[in-house]
Amino acid sequence: MSLLALDAVSVSFGGIAAVRGVTIRVEAGEIHGLIGPNGAGKTSLINAITGIVRTKGGTITFGDREITALPPDVISGRGIGRTFQHVELFREETVLDNVLTGLYSHHVYGVAAAIVGFGPMRRIEDEARREAVTLLDAFDLASFAAAPVRDLPFGIQKRVDLARALAVRPRLLLLDEPISGMSEAEADAAVATIRKLARQRDITLFVVEHNMRVMMRLAEHITVMHQGTVLAEGTPAEIRDDPTVVDAYLGEEDHNA
Amino acid sequence: MRLSHAVIAIVAALALALPALGSSYQIYLAELVLINIVAAIGLNLLTGNCGQISLCHASLMAIGAYTTALLTTRLSITYAVALPAGVAVTTLLGASLGYPARRLSGLYLALVTLGFLEVVSIAIEEFPDVTGGVRGLSLAKPDLVGWPLKAGALYYFVLAVTALSIRVGVSLQRSRYGRAFNAVRQSVIVAQALAIPPGRIKLLAFSIAAAFAGLAGGLFTAVVGFIDPTEFDISASLRQITFIAVGGLGSVLGSIIGATVLTLLPEALRGVKEYSDVVYGAILLGALVLTPKGIVGVLAMSFGRGDGKARLP
Amino acid sequence: MTWRIALQLALSGLSVGSIYAIVALSLAIPFKASRILNFAQGELVALGAYIGLVLTSYGLPYAAMVPATLVIAAVFGVLLERAFIRPIVGAPEFTLVIATFAIGLIIRALIRIHWQDNTFFLPAPYAGPALAVGPLRVNPAYLVIIGSTAVLVGLLVLFFRRTRLGKAMRAVSFNQTAARLMGISVGTVFGSAWALSAAIGALAGLLLAPVIGINPEIGHLIVKALIAAVIGGFGSLGGAVFGGLLLGLLETYSGALFGAAFKEIVPFGILIAFLLARPQGLWGATQVRV
């Protein structure tokens, strides 16, 4: 059974079909890439998986349960995390607070405990703080823990976004354009971090990128989208040699190679 | 940190010594300040932290006041029970606002709260046998389980309740719920991606704000002894919004500062009472346009805290 | 209920509904242009009536007082926009909502300082005893109110369809960036929208003044205008008119059928119902749900 199964998923906005009949299987433990030119429907598909957008048709199954029409917070709670293309951190808050917020569903105590303040809340908050610090350490962010996010360089913010997404303890992590906006050196470092992430934490990654070169180095299995449908599927080698993909990407290849 | 500890110690000492040092009018004024602090803390959690606009906070305070008043005067229930009962009733009614809050936001939510305010006003007017209608409701000063609360005793009671409210406010703000409030305010989509349920969080915020308002209302009945419904209209709600906008949105300290300064201000302007609303409106407008972080933000910057927030230790 | 009473009530309902419609219109115009809902609009209505009062007390005849009031109100609207609205255009929603409330609070307090809470009546040449029109007894002021609303709506339709400024306003409300790129001065459009809105609000004040009198509290009817705008949908001018008239009729009939207390509650029942079931109103376009 695949970890994530999309079956004939369609998404429409006011009459325009952004995604049409897309079927994808993401297997547990793999780094699965979703690539396509801008406008291919990748973002709409991600939004459909996370529940932000309603599907017009088809089903989405995570593990053995269907998640198609569930509210986004329930879907996250089931174990699907995501990062955001434009980062979307809580800018006025510190790095630590951002990551702590991600731990909301894992260090739980009731309103009564929160009102009382000492006792259970103190104890669980300490546990949460320890886990948050561990996450920060894993991404070399410990020195930035008390810094407000708005002052930090973009590359660091991307790492905070990643740490926060991991705080949710997802089984499947959707990475939305993780490399966009980065320099060549930053991109290489990010690719290494992401690969290490997948290995060490036993997380399945679903990576959305429009940069073919990066995708080739990162993904083990790639789905190519074009104009709302799946154009091709396979290993990087298979995709690279697929004439339909080369066709669709002819212009893109030259720009990004 | 040392400076803020010292300031708190001084303020606390003054607060405790007031009945010995001040006139009965000054004590009364202090009680009003304390009541407004309680109300402001609740509103700030809802609006400053959770980002939900509420124009009916004063109505909720009125509900708390009327409930407590009616229980003590009509049903002869002791204040010690009537006060929590007032809080409970207000919390339930305030929670009802959580339902529209699930699906609406911003302007439309503001309109719902405005509707709530109007309906409460109408209800007060249309049931004069219960509420005393537009002429208001007067009541004897309460006693706390047979122990008459007068002068100094009442003041210390209100002071104790306020101190407790501050403690609860800070605790909530630092809890996972405080973080959830801030997340929902900044981005519902991100909050959902972090498995935070926005609908339930907004419901919680409205309920908590209502509880604080109900408590403030219940204290009001004991302190003032007379409920004038026109004191709980839209202007009153705006005044409470001014407290938190000027003091600092999202900060318990901001609620304290804003409520204190702006409750005492009209007293300072007592010679020109009609100008009170003008001054309030001007201060509110100025705060919105010029100092988005309020007094607390200004303080934080002068004392050099990097994240622009002043914290209670 | 006899048909005669029903007609009588319809007239009364349309008359009060027309006021709601006018004020709702005056809210909708700047909302379409700058996406800001002016919670001080009620105070602008009151201000219009007070300006009329002042001009009349200076001996200005009615026919001159009305246009003079509208012009003064329009100027006030422009000043308001420049001084307080322009700086907050991009601000978070909280600021947008509360700022105009604050402005309203200030205006109302200033009115109170000068005129206290007394109720004045503005003498109008058409105010007088009820006329007999067939079997009905008709308050001439009602006819003037309904007639003025019809004329106003007609003029606005012409304005938005035929004049350059009107078309520019529609362009800006549709897509501000595109309008700017087309050379439209967005600032001028904003100022004009607020001037127009203030003038229309003042008109409502002048129409109300002979009927219910002027006091600092007439601004309160903005709540009814807001309900009308919710019914019609905030983006729709036609919706604002329809919402106002419908609200006036529903209010009047429910008052006659079920009593005064019910009459007070009905508008808010409608408000809550719409906000829960269809917040964008009957003709509102934008997606409002969270």
- DSSP β-bridge partners for residue A249: none
d(CA A160, CA A193): 13
Residues on chain B touching A62 (C-beta within 8 angstroms): none
Can you give the pLDDT at residue A15? Answer: 79
Q: What is the pLDDT of residue B163?
A: 95
Q: Which residue on chain A is closest to B196 by alpha carbon? A: A73
Predicted local distance difference test score (pLDDT) of residue C149: 93
- Would you say residue B210 has pLDDT above 80? yes
Nearest chain C residue to B117, by CA: C268
Identify which of A213, A89, A209, A102 has the alpha carbon closest to the alpha carbon of residue A155. A89
Residue located via tokens 């204190």: B260
Alpha-carbon torsion, ordered B245, B249, B252, B253, to 10 deg: -60
Mean pLDDT score across all residues of chain B: 87
Residue A18 dihedral angles phi and psi, to the nearest 5°: -80, -30
Confidence of residue B198 (pLDDT cuts 50, 70, 90): very high
Could you count the other beta carbons within 10 Å of the beta carbon of residue C209?
Answer: 26
Which has more pLDDT, B126 or C24?
A: C24
Instruction: Give the integer Cα–Cα distance in Å for B270 and A70.
Output: 58
CB contact under 8 A, A72 and B189: yes
Measure in Å the smallest separation between the Cα of C97 and chain B Cα atoms: 7
| Cβ atoms of residues C167 and C83 within 8 Å | no
Alpha helices (H) along B96-151: 98-103, 106-126, 128-131
Number of folded domains that form chain C: 1
Tell me: pLDDT of B243 over 90: yes
Mutation target for C interface from B105, B109, B114: give the one with most C CBs within 10 A. Answer: B114
Find the domain containing C103 and state its range. 22-217
**Which residues of chain B make contact with C230, given a CB cutoff of 8 A?**
111
Angstroms from B195 CA to nearest CA on chain A: 4
- Flag if B278 and C98 touch (Cβ within 8 Å): no
CB A36 within 8 A of CB A224: yes
User: Is B2 an interface residue toward A (CB < 8 Å)?
Assistant: no
pLDDT, average across residues A196-209: 88
How big is chain C by its Cα radius of gyration, in Å?
Answer: 19
Query: Over 70: is that where the pLDDT of B136 sits?
Result: yes
In this prediction the pTM is: 0.91
Rounded to the nearest integer, the mean pLDDT of chain A is 90
If interface means Cβ-Cβ distance under 8 Å, which residues of chain A face chain B? 50-52, 71-74, 76-77, 81-82, 84, 88, 90-94, 97, 100-105, 107-109, 111, 113-117, 121, 125, 128, 146-148, 151, 164-165, 167-168
Report the residue from A76, A104, A147 with minimal CB separation from B179. Answer: A104
State pLDDT tens for residues A12-40. 987 788 999 999 999 999 999 999 887 78
Structure tokens at C173: 């409300």
Gap from B306 CA to chain C (nearest CA, Å): 23
pLDDT band, residue A182 (cuts 50/70/90): confident
**How far, in Å, are A55, A148, B48, B106, B114 from residue B54 at the CA level?**
34, 29, 11, 9, 8
Q: What is the pLDDT of residue C288?
A: 45
pLDDT score at B60: 97
- Residue B304's pLDDT is 60
Of B172, B193, B306, the CB nearest to A72: B193
Overall average pLDDT of the B27-46 stretch:
95
Residue located via tokens 């002869």: B76
Nearest CA in chain C to B114: C223
Touching subunits of B (3+ CB pairs, under 8 Å) are A, C
Among 1.20.120, 2.60.120, 1.10.3470, 1.25.40, what is the CATH number of B2-302? 1.10.3470
B39-90 pLDDT, tens per residue? 999 999 999 999 999 999 999 999 999 999 999 888 888 888 999 999 999 9
Q: What is the CA radius of gyration of chain A?
A: 19
Complete DSSP assignment for C100-141: HHHHHHHHHHHHHHHHTT--B----TT--SPEEETTEEE-HH
pLDDT computed for residue C289 by the predictor: 40
Tell me: the pLDDT tens digits for A145-160? 999 999 899 889 999 9
Residues of A in contact with B174 (CB under 8 A): 117, 125
Please indicate if any CB of chain B lies within 8 Å of the CB of C89: no
Query: Which residue in the set C96, C109, C290 is minimally distant from B277, CB to CB?
Result: C109
Q: If pLDDT is split at 50, 70 and 90, which confidence band does B194 have?
A: very high
Rounded CA gap, C58 and C71, in Å? 17
The segments of chain C whose pLDDT lies below 50 read 288-290
Closest C-alpha to C223, from C13, C40, C18, C10: C40
Residues in CB range of B106: below 8 A, 6 or more apart: B53, C93, C97
Asked if B186's CB is within 8 angstroms of A104's CB, the reply is no
**Is-contact C55 C65, C-beta < 8 A?**
yes
Q: According to DSSP H, which parts of chain A are helical?
A: 42-49, 72-78, 95-102, 111-116, 120-138, 154-167, 184-201, 212-218, 236-241, 243-256
- The burial class, CB within 10 Å (0-12 / 13-18 / 19+), for B201 is buried
Q: Which of A200-209, B162-171, B270-279, C52-61 is least confident?
A: B270-279
B309 falls in which pLDDT band (50, 70, 90)? very low
Distances (CA, A) of C124 to A162, B276, C200, C208: 70, 35, 18, 11
pLDDT in tens, B91-120: 999 999 998 888 887 888 999 999 999 999
* Interface ipTM: 0.92
Contact between chains at A148 and B190 (C-beta distance less than 8 A): no
d(CA B35, CA C1): 52
The CATH code of the domain at A88-169 is 3.40.50.300
Spell out the CATH class of A1-79+172-257.
Answer: alpha beta
Please report, for chain A, the start and end positions of each structural domain, with discontinuous segments joined by +: 1-79+172-257, 88-169
Residue C5 lies in a domain: no
Q: What is the DSSP string of A118-150?
A: STHHHHHHHHHHHHHHHHHHHTT-GGGTTSBGG
Taking CB atoms within 8 Å and a gap of at least 24, the contacts of C129-137 are C135/C4, C136/C4, C136/C7, C136/C8, C136/C11, C137/C8
Question: Are C118 and C219 within 8 A, CB to CB?
Answer: no
Determine the distance in angstroms separating the CA of C182 from the nearest CA of chain B, rounded to an integer: 30
Q: What was the pLDDT predicted at A155?
A: 87
* Closest chain A CA to residue B189: A52
Domain ranges of chain B: 2-302
